[in-house]
């Protein structure tokens, strides 16, 4: 999984920290690495970074005991919900650049959708619906179909009509993708 400076600023930036300086320091200490992939949302390609698995595990342990854990997880999820909604507004389904961006962000999107399952089901279901063409095109339907079926079983009666319609649309798209 990789991320951009923009993503780091949206998730971790609180105005007091210079994210670019902090990331430069982390790179110099080999705690994060520049990724060879340069994929961004806008027309310019964005430099991407990745965290090595042992560092990721340590960071997850540290975050688990941090009082700002829920704030960071929420910021992360809503940043990625916003990303997929921005992509929905583009003609992205036919643009390989956006498909590649989603592929590079799939771990972050997965984490956001799983967070949303227990914190904001509606936002999570709308985000899933936004990326259904990507999931179908890149072969991710088998992973998300059981997830969606479980979420619908748990929440179908409490969803507003717009979200339920999106979830049912996703369900049919994912079913088609696994047939």
The pLDDT value recorded for residue 41 is 57
pLDDT of residue 43: 47
Burial annotation 31-42 (CB, 10 A radius, 16+ → b, else e): ebeebeeebebe
Q: Determine the pLDDT at residue 42.
A: 55
The helix, strand and coil proportions of the chain, stated in percent and rounded to the nearest 5, come to 70, 10, 20
- DSSP code of 41? S
In terms of Cα–Cα distance, which of 133, 75, 130, 141 is closest to 108?
75
Q: What is the pLDDT along the chain (179 residues), one digit of tens a residue?
A: 788 888 888 898 776 778 888 889 999 999 899 887 666 555 456 788 888 889 889 988 988 999 989 999 999 999 999 999 888 777 666 678 788 888 888 999 999 999 999 999 999 999 999 999 889 888 899 999 999 999 999 999 999 999 999 999 999 999 987 76
Contact at 8 Å (CB) between 123 and 116? yes
- Residue 123 is predicted with a pLDDT of 97
The residue length of the chain stands at 179
Pick from 69, 59, 12: nearest CA to 32: 59
161-163-164 Cα angle (round to 5): 60
| pTM (predicted TM-score) | 0.86
Q: What DSSP letter does each residue of 42-99 carry, written as one string?
A: SSS--EEEEE-HHHHHHHHHHHHT-TTHHHHHHHHHHHHHHHHHHHHTTTGGG-HHHH
Distance, CA of 65 to CA of 170 (rounded, Å): 35
pLDDT of residue 161: 97
Tokens matching residue 38: 């340069």
Rounded to whole angstroms, the Cα distance separating 19 from 159 reads 38
């Amino acid at each position: 999984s990789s991320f951009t400076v923009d993503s780091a600023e949206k998730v971790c930036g609180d105005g007091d920290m210079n994210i670019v300086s902090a990331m430069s320091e982390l790179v110099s200490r080999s705690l994060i690495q520049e990724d060879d992939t340069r994929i961004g949302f806008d027309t310019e390609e964005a430099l991407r970074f990745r965290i090595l698995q042992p560092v990721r595990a340590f960071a997850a342990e540290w975050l688990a005991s941090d009082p700002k854990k829920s704030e960071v997880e929420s910021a992360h999820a809503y940043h990625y919900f916003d990303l997929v909604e921005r992509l929905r507004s583009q003609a992205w389904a036919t643009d390989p650049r956006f498909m590649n961006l989603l592929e590079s962000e799939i771990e972050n999107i997965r984490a956001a959708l799983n967070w949303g399952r227990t914190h904001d089901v509606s936002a999570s279901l709308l985000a899933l619906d936004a990326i259904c063409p990507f999931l179908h095109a890149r072969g991710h339907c088998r992973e998300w179909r059981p997830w969606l079926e479980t979420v619908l079983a748990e929440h179908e009666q409490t969803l507003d009509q717009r979200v339920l319609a999106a979830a049912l649309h996703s369900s049919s798209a994912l079913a088609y993708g696994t047939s």
